[in-house]
Structure 1
Amino acid sequence: MKKIVLTGGGTAGHVTPNIALMPALKKDGYQISYIGSYDGIERRLIEELNVPYYGISSGKLRRYFDVKNFTDPFKVVKGYFEARKILKKLKPDVIFSKGGFVSVPVVLAAKSCKIPAIIHESDMTPGLANKLAIPSAYKICHNFPETADNLPEGKAVLSGSPIRQELLTGNRFKGLQLCGFNDEKPVILVIGGSLGAAAINEAVRKALPVLLPSYQIIHVCGKGKVDAAIKNCPGYIQFDYVKDELSDLLAAADLVISRAGSNAICEFLALNKPNILIPLPAGASRGDQILNAASFEKQGFSYLLPEEMVTDESLSKAVNEVFENRETYIQAMRSNTASNAIDIIVNLCDEAVKSRKKRKK
């Protein structure tokens, strides 16, 4: 049996693509183990799946001054030796890394153990963790064509992002039923998130008088952000958070309004959902969402609406424009070549395993 170690953590975005890969890896004959931090979000998500989990020391390397910058490098070094010990025990044939700072010592340890490591970079430009790991990588998968310009020649593979298969099997009727909606009007799904989504939530609610005569609206507004004053507004429903219901709500949606996190927008792409992207502004992030959204707009997948331009009027205008031209967006998404990330990545893992076996002979 082939053996693979998955790694990545710090946020759910560094874990869910690994989880999406697991069924295909198992089907292809891989025995899966996972290396993450001692107590990060990844531990809970992976242990729920009964996948063997190994925790290592993890430190964050920051671009700004922080007292922890003096101690965290020692945590990374400790994590490297812990990862090396685990890899020597598990003897995997290949590593797959989804990023986050916990993945850096794992990828470096893999190189020292002569185990090929495949890295996935979600955003347009590599984050600091992946920048540190890239020189040790066998291949680097990425979501955006432009990313290849920032990667070593011969290592870049345009794969797209692994998508949770349950998102592809949502039921439109169940989604409509959950919201008390019907098929008479198109449905807009707004996924504003929690932190930093105030501008989206406010614009959507101000635009309700203009939008509701023509659309039904599902608004995932973030924990604690439900507006009780409009809770019973016909054709408009609010959720503070959704999990298992998301696949059915996406199936019900004719158009999505969202931030521009790479995993989310790749899900819209896989589902061929016309979308309006309102990326986090540069002051609230390293600017990766702005670049992600610009790439999707350039490829004809999305309508980009910068947060500083968001008003009820601009949002209503964007909704009407995207809905009227929805078939153009759908056709662009259907013609996308990097739409089968799971198969591409599993095949890369197989290629790496075969290459390693040849070198051993």
Structure 2
Amino acid sequence: MVNSPITVLIMAAGTGGHIFPALSVARELQMLGAKVEWLGTPSGLEHELLANTEIPLHTVPVQGLRGKGFMRLLFAPFMLVRAFWESLKVLQRVRPDSVLGMGGFVAGPAGLAAKTMGLPLLIHEQNAVVGLTNKLLFPFSIRAMEAFPSTFPAASKVSYTGNPVRREIRELRDAAPLAFATDHSLN
């Protein structure tokens, strides 16, 4: 029997604050031999950032709710139910071994769909204060990772990991002493 690589579906959309850390995780997972697929939105920044990668992008029509006015809030339940069902379809097609929510409005309905299907759900919070989506998904997750200590309520499933950073950025740390004076003088 040949072992096939695990498949991880990463859910991240909206802003670079969610997408860049998720992309860092995706690259590391790929280097470990995992197959990575992405769930985003039809018009998010993820389209541009994933264009030059080999990561398949699936989309679900969902938008943020905060500050979008009364009409958006009025239609929000319909949009979220539709996004949940569309997420179920994507999950059935992709058949991931696990699902990682890195933030953004797409992660809410898709994370609940993953839990409904019995898939392991992991979440990561990049901010010092837990966002609405991760607050909702926390009880359903098997692992919650945080960039800052004590972001999530204390629980055995919480890990303080810091923010994922691209390999190129991490490598700059090693080069920094060569670029700056190491004797702490201004001369």
Structure having the larger proportion of residues in helix: 1
* Equivalent runs, 1:161-200 vs 2, <5 Å: 161-170=163-172
Aligned with residue 156 of structure 2, among 154, 157, 160: 154
Aligned with residue 77 of structure 1, among 63, 77, 81: 81
**5+ residue gaps in structure 2?**
none
Aligned amino acid, residue 7 of structure 1? M
Q: Residues of 1 paired with 2:118 and 2:161: CA distance?
A: 24
User: How far off is 1:47 after superposition?
Assistant: 2.6
TM-score calculated relative to the size of structure 1: 0.46
Q: Residues of 1 paired with 2:82 and 2:50: CA distance?
A: 22
Residue 4 of structure 1: SS of its match in structure 2?
A: strand
Residue 130 of structure 2: SS of its match in structure 1?
A: coil
Tell me the equivalent position of 1:88: 92
The 1:253–1:83 alpha-carbon spacing in structure 2 relative to 1, beyond 3 Å, is: farther
Aligned with residue 105 of structure 1, among 96, 99, 109: 109
User: How far off is 1:151 after superposition?
Assistant: 2.4
* Equivalent runs, 1:232-251 vs 2, <5 Å: none
Tell me the equivalent position of 2:128: 124
The 1:64–1:75 alpha-carbon spacing in structure 2 relative to 1, beyond 3 Å, is: closer
Tell me the equivalent position of 2:34: 30
* Equivalent runs, 1:22-61 vs 2, <5 Å: 22-61=26-65
Q: Residues of 2 paired with 1:90 and 1:152: CA distance?
A: 33
Residue 123 of structure 1: SS of its match in structure 2?
A: coil
Q: Residues of 2 paired with 1:10 and 1:252: CA distance?
A: 35
**5+ residue gaps in structure 1?**
174-247, 255-322, 325-361
TM-score calculated relative to the size of structure 2: 0.85
1:133 pairs with 2:137 = yes
Identity across matched positions, percent: 28
Name the larger-Rg structure.
1
The 1:66–1:50 alpha-carbon spacing in structure 2 relative to 1, beyond 3 Å, is: same
* Equivalent runs, 1:325-336 vs 2, <5 Å: none
Task: Report how many aligned residue pairs link the two structures.
Answer: 179
User: How far off is 1:171 after superposition?
Assistant: 9.2
The 1:155–1:65 alpha-carbon spacing in structure 2 relative to 1, beyond 3 Å, is: farther
Q: Residues of 1 paired with 2:18 and 2:62: CA distance?
A: 14
User: Which structure has the higher relative contact order (CA within 8 Å, separation 6+)?
Assistant: 2
Deviation >6 Å, runs of 4+: none
Q: Residues of 1 paired with 2:106 and 2:24: CA distance?
A: 19
